[in-house]
Homo-oligomer: A and B are copies of this chain.
Amino acid sequence: MAFSERVSRLKSSLIREILAAAQRPEVMSFAGGLPAESMLPKVQWADMPVALGQYGMSEGEPALREALAADARALGIDCDARQVMVVSGSQQTLDLAAKLYIDKGTEILLEAPTYLAALQIFQLFGADCITVPLQAEGPDLVAMRQRLEQHKPAFAYLIPTFQNPSAVRYSQASRDAVAALLDEFGVTLIEDEPYRELSFDGGSARPIVSGLKTASWIYTGTVSKTLLPGLRVGYLIASPDLFPHLLRLKQSADLHTNRLGQWQALQWIGTEHYREHLVTLCEFYRGRRDAFESALQTHFSDLATWNSPQGGLFFWLTLKQPLDTRTLLDAALAQDVAFMPGEPFFADPDANHGHLRLNFSHIDPARLDEGIKRLASVVRAAHLLQAA
């Protein structure tokens, strides 16, 4: 069997296996990043034009690109619709970026921890991952400068707003400093913002790309966290030097994104009813966050520390007594509890034990306390075993 060299790096996806196990209805899952079913908006399809059944443009629907560009400009991103491409979920942006930049051994700069599925696709293409530790307000800037002095990464991939998995939101000062560093060293920025709209304290900060003066950039977002993930509609906005390459790569990947989802997204983006929906959604998730934090305080105060997430979908726990949290998984699933071990979110998993990513958006509130209690008991049992 003569597969490509890259297939040797095609890892079994831990999250796939966990999510498969979490399909059993009795499982209390903190593992995925699913929206709450009750908050999926009712959508109408009756007015969709028949002509949308035909092939469309690789760039995406013109009206949707205009609406997305207007939204981005309101955030401070200097762009027009010609720089916007609709993609088949923002995961596709990572695939296109990997194709554009990564050969075997290409250095890239990532946060530690970072989004697991980004790590997977970048490593599949053979990236050599240089990492910068995340702190409460953003990346360690001293470490970042040091990395940029010592390496020449093809790009930096950052998730500055309610990061997955850490829930960190970069401060405005941190964003400005990161932009200045990337300009200084001429490093392209890929800024991934799936959670920007899910802010619980109303706070916000400008996208980092809006602060770049000379570096190239790709900004990517999605409607999956705010409307319907099943639409598979995301978007990227790129500096004009990158766009033509990304467009050809998009065309060869899947010709264009499905037009049904694009049409539905257009019914929402930039409208008053979307703004109202987002307010309701953030209130709802803030409530879930609060309930989750209460359960954590009851059962995990002695076991772990965490920062209360101001947005997004996850708590990121740091165990006071570190252990390889992947070893907890079988015991947790035996107790009908699923969670995401922290290790796969690091380019070097074995050097980064002792974190858990817990999703708070999707769990049934009636089973929340029981689930957290069982998970705590699994951690306690592992500590006892460790001590024995």
Contact = CB atoms under 8 A, between A and B. Distances in A.
A266 to B, nearest CB: 14
Contact of A103 (B4, B259, B261, B264): B4
What is the interface of chain A mostly: helix, strand, loop, or mixed?
loop
Given A6-B103, A34-B55, A232-B256, A251 B16 contact: yes
A42 interface: yes
Interface residues of A, number: 75
A53 B232 CA distance: 9
B231 A121 contact: no
Contacts of A249: 10
A146 interface: no
Number of copies: 2
- Point out which of A41, A100, A241, A255 has the most chain B C-beta atoms below 10 A from its C-beta: A255
A120 B99 CA distance: 14
Given A4-B101, A5-B103, A103-B5, A255 B89 contact: yes
B50 A106 contact: no
A276 interface: no
Nearest to A117: B252
Contacts of A89: 254-255
Contact of A229 (B5, B53, B251): B53
A10 B121 contact: no
B4 A54 contact: no
Interface in A1-44: 1-7, 10-13, 16, 32, 34-35, 37, 40-43
Interface in A35-86: 35, 37, 40-43, 45-46, 48, 50-56, 58
